[in-house]
């Protein structure tokens, strides 16, 4: 493993960008858990194994178990996501959790279109973000995710970074295991339905905040 890591190490300029971005990013408090929340163009893929969006709450539920961790066992939660709506959801519905994430430009939902993975317009910066997120996640004892090609690279990077003791503690949880996506919905329609349901949950909070302001 170490030979492959050495042979494929980033060039000096990229290592510098990763270092600079790490300096601007909060350090996870240990022990931590990491969540890879895949959205944006995932619902636009016309493959047999079509994917749907999942609420962040589905990931949060996996912070407990399978090792029967106490609710407050993880002192921080590293959030890896390509979608700004996930960041908003974290602060609106799960504000009590100590979130850690890279401050970056993100698409929101399907606005970037299919295969639009460069929201900043700077491919080098996007690669640096990925490398930083891998380093953050490698400090954690748990990775919670849905099926994607990137999660395989992420798990591989985590195993390279972690030592033997860390690997013994490390656990993986896939929230869409044995959960079939709704194939009746066409492309972006599933995303529209997802955000409509999320807005329904927001409505009572908006009304509550509005009533409080008028008092």
What was the pLDDT predicted at 42? 79
Residue pLDDT, tens place only, 179-199:
655 555 555 677 888 889 889
Average pLDDT of 197-211?
Answer: 69
Residue 130 and residue 137: Cα distance in Å, rounded? Answer: 11
Residue 29 and residue 33: Cα distance in Å, rounded? Answer: 10
Average pLDDT of 68-94?
Answer: 90
Residue 34 and residue 148: Cα distance in Å, rounded? Answer: 15
pTM for this model (two decimals): 0.86
Residue 157 and residue 138: Cα distance in Å, rounded? Answer: 7
**Pairs from 41-47 (Cβ < 8 Å, separation ≥ 24):** 41/110, 41/112, 41/113, 41/114, 41/115, 41/116, 41/117, 42/148, 43/110, 43/187, 43/188, 43/190, 43/191, 44/110, 44/113, 44/114, 44/187, 44/188, 45/114, 46/187
Residue that wins the pLDDT comparison between 116 and 86: 86
Q: Is the omega angle on the peptide bond into residue 31 within 30 degrees of 0, that is, cis?
A: yes
Are 143 and 34 within 8 A, CB to CB?
A: yes
Residue 210 pLDDT exceeds 50: no
Residue pLDDT, tens place only, 2-27:
677 777 788 999 999 999 999 999 99
Residue pLDDT, tens place only, 20-77:
999 999 999 999 999 999 888 877 766 555 678 899 999 999 998 666 567 689 999 9
């Amino acid at each position: 493993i170490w030979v492959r890591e050495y042979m494929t190490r980033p060039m000096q300029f990229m290592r510098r960008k990763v270092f600079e971005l790490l300096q601007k990013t909060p350090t996870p408090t240990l022990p931590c858990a990491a969540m890879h929340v895949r959205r944006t163009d995932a619902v636009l893929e016309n493959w047999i194994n079509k994917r749907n969006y999942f609420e962040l709450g589905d990931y949060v539920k996996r912070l407990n178990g399978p090792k029967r961790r106490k609710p407050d066992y993880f002192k921080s939660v590293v959030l890896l996501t390509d979608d700004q709506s996930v960041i908003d959801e974290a602060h609106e519905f799960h504000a009590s959790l100590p979130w850690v994430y890279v401050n970056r430009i993100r698409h929101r939902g399907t606005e970037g279109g299919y295969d639009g993975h460069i929201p900043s317009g700077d491919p080098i910066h996007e690669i640096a973000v990925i490398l930083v997120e891998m380093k953050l996640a490698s400090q954690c004892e748990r990775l919670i995710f849905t099926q994607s090609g990137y999660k395989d690279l992420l798990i591989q990077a985590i195993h390279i970074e972690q030592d033997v003791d860390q690997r013994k503690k490390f656990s993986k949880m896939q929230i869409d295991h044995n959960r079939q996506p709704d194939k009746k919905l066409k492309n972006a329609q599933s995303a529209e339905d997802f955000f409509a349901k999320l807005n329904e949950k927001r409505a009572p909070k908006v009304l509550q905040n509005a009533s409080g302001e008028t008092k």
